[in-house]
Structure 1
Amino acid sequence: VMSLGELLSLIGIVVALLIMNVKLGLITMIVIPILVVIMIAWQRFAKKTFVEVRRRISIVNGSFNENFAGVRVVQSLNRQKKNLELFDEKNLAHRWSNIVAGRYAAGLLPAVDILTAVAIILAILFGAQMVESQEIGVGVLVAFIMYIQRFFDPIRNLTMQYTQLQRSMASGSRIFDLMDRIPGLEDKENAYEMPEIQGSVEFKNVRFSYVEGEEVLKGINLKIAPGETVAIVGPTGAGKTSIVSVLSRFYGVQPGNGSILVDGIEITDVTRESLVHQMSMVLQEPYLFSGTILENIRYNHSNVSDEQIILAAKAVGAHEFINKLPDGYHTYLAERGNNISLGQRQLISFARAIAPDPKILVLDEATASIDSHTETLIQQALKKVLHGRTAIVIAHRLSTIRGADKIVVLDAGEIVEIGTHETLMAQKHLYFELYNKNFASIEGL
């Protein structure tokens, strides 16, 4: 509102000057094009410095958050001094970028003051001649000088606001860049809702890469029957997590690189929401949100009743410890669930996964970071939980793998073996080596 009033004031002053004397009015306003040129040149450099300020503060905030979140690792490795030095370097770079931006912001106002003085000098020089030749009166000349001063007051205020506007635009451009990004994975225009599924899954010659030219899945062909438990094993980097990632449509398989079918329907033909709504996933590191345990287990499935939540918690062995908490299922969890143990967080994650009764359950190293007691509880619960639903299990624990209906062995993005534990051990190939080198040693701990 203030800027609009000042703009109207400028227009009124220009009209008044031209009415009093067109010639002298045009002479005094000759500085306006110069001001415009200065503003254009200033903007080119100032915008870069303001963007740099925002970039530097984001680096400082990122470094602060990283060190704060990993403070135990920093202290355990005794790297406090080095990290403080690195933080100081980032902070100094941020300070210097602020100094440069401040200089640009402060440098524009003197330019306006100089142009104000030049306009007044021009009015006095040419106005005095016009007074002498009796083209205008002395009063008109004095009015011109007063109007010129009034003319540049709004410009001075607008200049200060323009500087702030450029700072805001530098901040906003980073936000708008993020908002304008096109999602890498979108539903087709004619995608339809996935009907209720039975749980069969089929990979047909699926090829996938995160970086073009570097395939992590190379012609995967795999059939999983409804209600079947399939374990996926292999060395690090073999593509185990990538298989479940493309199935859950965290990433899309490019056209011509094979297809993934659920109950005979290609997953790209249906909406992701309707597909994932009938699937659940438990990750290696449990992630809980600020809120009650009840809210965390229900999460996006508002149709799940309190009774179903309690049944899910009982099924995974979480009900006992939840009842011992001060407020039971209404106990409020801090950010990431940090006020309960890692094992308890994982049990709640399991309960959250099975509460909506998914037809397909994916366990991605779900027991890798928990203690043996909690794992025993989960292993006992899995026998009940996996019954009647399709399960894809990525694990390094033999106890999890041994009970699978089928074990798929991956190596360098390719399926090299498929079979049960007994048949694969008898073949004495990669699975046999992995078991002897890794699984057996882990199981013996």
Structure 2
Amino acid sequence: MSENNMKNQQPRRMGPPGPMGRGFEKPKDFKGTFSKLLRYLRPYRLKLIIVMLFAIGSTVFTIRAPKILGKATTKIFEGLVSKISGASDGGIDFQYILNIILILIGLYVISAIFSFIQGIIVTGVSQKVSYNLRREISEKTNRLPLKYFDSVSHGDVLSRVTNDVDTVSQTLNQSMSQIITSATTLVGVLIMMLSISWQMTIAAILILPISMVLVMGIVKRSQKYFKTQQESLGRVNGHIEEVYSGHNIMKAFNAEKEAVEKFRKINGELYNSAWKAQFLSGMMMPIMMFIGNIGYVAVSILGGWYAIKKTIEVGDILSFIQYIRSFTQPIAQVAQISNVLQSTVAAAERVFEFLDEDEEPKESETPVKLEEVEGRVTFENVKFGYNEDKIIINDFSADIKPGQKVAIVGPTGAGKTTIVKLLMRFYDLNEGRIFVDGHDINDFTREDLRDNFGMVLQDTWLFSGTIMENIRYGRLDATDEEVIEAAKSAHAHRFIHTLPDGYNMIINEEANNISQGQKQLLTIARAILSNPKILILDEATSSVDTRTEILIQRAMENLMKGRTAFIIAHRLSTIRDADLILVMKDGDIVEQGSHEELLSKNGFYAELYNSQFAA
């Protein structure tokens, strides 16, 4: 078994949760990451300019509408006043009102069309950026060395491909035009308010600091409850996942009551923190409305006074009140977007960190390509460690002749599986060289090198699909007949026919609708189908019953004829007929020879062998 040294993961800085209760992650380098993100948008700059123009146009038309509506209100007011006063030419000018209505309809229609067009363009740009990011991540994954995946959890990599890219995509889609619209609205509305009355504008603006102070106070108090809510939610999710995954064990030990009690406790903690957090955050809107209503009262009184003095028209008061509503909205939006941008740049930073990871060394410019592989493998003074300060293979040398069956044995952590990973260039050596048919493995392309190997690992891997498709994974152009023949050689054909739908049975995502032994037989059939020149069997029979083990051994005997085979095994009884047994201890070969030779030496191998049969 290999010894993988895990890097210490640095905790990422988390900012306070927003009003919706979701914590956001602070980027380490906001400016640098934002610049990289802009580079991804650069090819679409013409489209983005069009979006800006349409966003500004849509906002301008919307802003202009209240002022025009105010003129209609003024006209109606003047008509009513003249009618009441008994003027001969008094009355409401309905034609003027109709013209105003038509103008407003035209403005709103144009604004809606502009918004629709900018929405289509922004959606296209954001999805294209997401597509490019995912494509680059997929290509990058294939170029990364295995040591990266040994130091980072698979869930973290998947999170970058899915959650982080989705976060960037959604922000680009929703916030890009919203930023432009909010900024334009803020400036435009302020100008329109000043054009009506600068005194009323100052009165309206003075209300804002009051509401902001109150809102910030609530946010500060609610932050600790949102944090507790997220922690409790994590514990609830973890408990449910733990109980669900170990449901059978929980039932077997009659632990249902304890599981329910534990859930009630953490669910109660979640309820208490969530109630307080949501209550406090729910107070913000009523407070802002209350302060806003005070502003409306102040503006109405001031506006009425100016209207009596005939400084402004009655319709302008209505327009001004509408502008106040439009003025406070973009301020709230900008505050919200600033939090979203923090989260987005943090997500983009994680994606770019992944894309900037060191890749595998470049291939040889003049690679070796063998017409026919004989299968001679030579290890020459190999030295390797997953970290340079901890070498696990000190000085490994061996010469394996074509067609030999070589067993590698030793205690856990001796470096058995690591030898195989080095042979296939999953990792590069610290020192020494490995040769295949006299050629350094670094002189091959990785694809050509690995094309000559067939692997059957102790951890079976099957994907969601039919049994036929899973076996054909060994050679994608194989016919159905060749797949069936490989299954017969692996002694899998018989059990496949007993399954519903036979070769067309769908293996589910967890592959738990077939037994562990059956999974192993399918992976062996896959290796047989690939027709490799060199075989690697890593604990291939470690998780099967005795009868299945006998079937696998028979299949392997046929497969290994004429091929070089490396067998890594803990069950020493399965490798007694190996041509060469390499005994490893602490990264070195301490003994080598046939089974009988090693037993006669009465050394470390004999100790291992006898310990398995001591009972």
Q: Which residue of 1 aligns with 2:410?
A: 234
Q: Which residue of 2 aligns with 1:346?
A: 520
- Measured in 2, the distance between the counterparts of 1:294 and 1:62 equals 36
Instruction: State the 1:143 CA deviation.
Output: 4.1
SS in 1 for 2:392: strand
Query: What letter corresponds to residue 556 of structure 2 in structure 1?
Result: L
- Measured in 2, the distance between the counterparts of 1:431 and 1:126 equals 99
Residues 374 and 437 of structure 2 are in contact (CA less than 8 Å); yes or no, is this contact kept in structure 1? yes
Residues 287 and 336 of structure 1 are in contact (CA less than 8 Å); yes or no, is this contact kept in structure 2? no
Query: What letter corresponds to residue 428 of structure 1 in structure 2?
Result: N
SS in 1 for 2:391: strand
Instruction: State the 1:314 CA deviation.
Output: 1.7
- Measured in 1, the distance between the counterparts of 2:440 and 2:368 equals 10
Query: What letter corresponds to residue 366 of structure 1 in structure 2?
Result: A
Instruction: State the 1:437 CA deviation.
Output: 0.6
SS in 2 for 1:391: strand
SS in 2 for 1:215: coil
Corresponding position: 1:401 with 2:555 = no
Query: What letter corresponds to residue 400 of structure 2 in structure 1?
Result: I
- Measured in 2, the distance between the counterparts of 1:59 and 1:352 equals 41
SS in 1 for 2:354: coil
Identify which of 305, 315, 323 aligns with 2:479: 305
Number of residues paired by the alignment? 436
Q: Which residue of 2 aligns with 1:279?
A: 453
Residues 47 and 170 of structure 1 are in contact (CA less than 8 Å); yes or no, is this contact kept in structure 2? no
SS in 1 for 2:483: helix
1:252-287 per-residue CA deviation (whole Å, 9 max, x = no partner) reads 346x44444444555456554443333222222433
SS in 1 for 2:244: helix
Instruction: State the 1:194 CA deviation.
Output: 6.7
Instruction: State the 1:121 CA deviation.
Output: 5.9
Task: Identify which range, 98-107 or 324-333, moves more after superposition.
Answer: 98-107
- Measured in 1, the distance between the counterparts of 2:381 and 2:508 equals 44
Q: Unpaired runs of 5+ in structure 2?
A: 1-114, 120-173
Query: What letter corresponds to residue 292 of structure 1 in structure 2?
Result: T
Q: Which residue of 1 aligns with 2:205?
A: 29
Q: TM-score, normalised by structure 1?
A: 0.78
Q: Which residue of 1 aligns with 2:600?
A: 426
Query: What letter corresponds to residue 365 of structure 1 in structure 2?
Result: E
Corresponding position: 1:15 with 2:191 = yes
SS in 2 for 1:355: helix
Identify which of 359, 373, 391 aligns with 1:186: 359
Residues 293 and 330 of structure 1 are in contact (CA less than 8 Å); yes or no, is this contact kept in structure 2? yes
Query: What letter corresponds to residue 106 of structure 1 in structure 2?
Result: G
Residue pairs, 1:211-360, within 5 angstroms = 213-250=389-426, 252-253=427-428, 256-267=430-441, 271-299=445-473, 301-360=475-534
SS in 1 for 2:561: coil
Corresponding position: 1:372 with 2:546 = yes
Relative to structure 1, is the Cα distance of residues 183 and 350 closer, same or farther in structure 2, using a 3 angstrom cutoff?
Answer: farther
Identify which of 591, 594, 601 aligns with 1:417: 591
- Measured in 1, the distance between the counterparts of 2:447 and 2:210 equals 58
Structure having the higher strand fraction is 1
SS in 2 for 1:335: coil
Q: Unpaired runs of 5+ in structure 1?
A: none
Query: What letter corresponds to residue 562 of structure 2 in structure 1?
Result: G
1:39-90 per-residue CA deviation (whole Å, 9 max, x = no partner) reads 9999999899878867765665454344433333344455444455555566
Identify which of 225, 244, 253 aligns with 1:68: 244
- Measured in 1, the distance between the counterparts of 2:267 and 2:439 equals 54
SS in 2 for 1:409: strand
Relative to structure 1, is the Cα distance of residues 139 and 46 closer, same or farther in structure 2, using a 3 angstrom cutoff?
Answer: same
- Measured in 1, the distance between the counterparts of 2:478 and 2:375 equals 20
Instruction: State the 1:17 CA deviation.
Output: 0.7
Between the aligned residues of both structures, percent identity stands at 37
- Measured in 1, the distance between the counterparts of 2:384 and 2:221 equals 44
SS in 1 for 2:544: coil
Corresponding position: 1:391 with 2:391 = no
Q: TM-score, normalised by structure 2?
A: 0.59
1:274-301 per-residue CA deviation (whole Å, 9 max, x = no partner) reads 4333322222243322221110101263
Instruction: State the 1:311 CA deviation.
Output: 2.1
- Measured in 1, the distance between the counterparts of 2:474 and 2:218 equals 50
Larger Rg: 2
